[in-house]
Structure 1
Amino acid sequence: MLDAARSHFVERGYAGTRLRDVAADAGVDVALVHYFFRTKDLLFATAMELPIDPAEIVAELLDGSRDELALRMLGRFLDAWDAPGAADPLIALVRSASTHEPAAELLRGFVHHGVVGPLVVGLGVDDHERRAALVASQLLGLVLVRYVVRVEPVASDDRETVITALAPVITQHLFGHRPEPRPPQ
């Protein structure tokens, strides 16, 4: 099932992948895909070897103070990227997205449907598509600078420095105001 899912996600992108098509290519009933993976988000996370369940992350991020949302988001984001071996498939996806349209569609789809889009919709803010795209620009920019191109000093900054620097910008994108930066706990 995972091989079929990877193939569909790469060829058709996140939005174009249907669980019934993955099941058919894997030679199983779609109920089996639902049984093991529950949602397309979790299937994507598993197939792409992401160390997260997107729906779980969104729920976790929405549960708490809005003033500290960006701090929580960046902390979880860095946890996912800094986990041993976790970044390898993600770095490959980000690298290939600039030259391979299916990979770009996959990345766009995950941003829009996976974590950032549902998070912004869950906040109930206006202009949620623009806000989600702006937050994604910060997160993908961080990925490019810190993990792919490895631009110093950001590539070797400790997580608190990165979080403190970016949290006000992400808060601005989410809510239209910038809070006073507070160090992460």
Structure 2
Amino acid sequence: MPATYTTASGLPRYNPLSQALHWLSALFIFAVLPLAWVAISLPNSELKGTMFVLHKSVGLTIFALVAVRIIWRMIRPAPADPQAPKALEVIARINHWLLYAIFLIMPVSGYLLSALSGRSTPYFWLFIVPGFEKNEALAKTFQAVHVFGQFAVYLLVALHIAGTVWHLVIRRDGLLERMLPVQDGRGGR
């Protein structure tokens, strides 16, 4: 039986692998956005190409991380928050699953946008994910999905952060501590 990790106040804590996957995902998500903004703003150059390779590679990494997170979450569901009203817990779970969905949709739509434009996708210069025969109409469809998805990412991440701030500042219920590594020297109990 796996150890049950708790916060200093006794709330159930996410297990260390869930925590690591969460913060690693956050790191890549906050990296992929500025890479896209910079790549789009640059004139055609080698640097622009490099920024797009990084953006696409980070996007594919996010896809893999989220897929692993979903599988892990099926194996180890999120711990319940005994202090949260049921409605808030439902809203939080819906937001989490929408975040998972958009972080799968964005890399897929970005890849298909590129692939259907007749381009292959280098993954950190390690290997190439091949493209498809050029199909301008489908490429435009996936471009629209990708652009719309960008705003969904902003909204869902903002809601996630706002919820965390609300728990931290207004409720002061220790919710953020559940997603942080043990700080007080205690392991699982």
The answer to which structure has the higher helix fraction is 1
RCO comparison, higher one (Cα < 8 Å, 6+): 2
Structure 1 and Structure 2 fold alike (TM over 0.5) = no
Larger Rg: 2
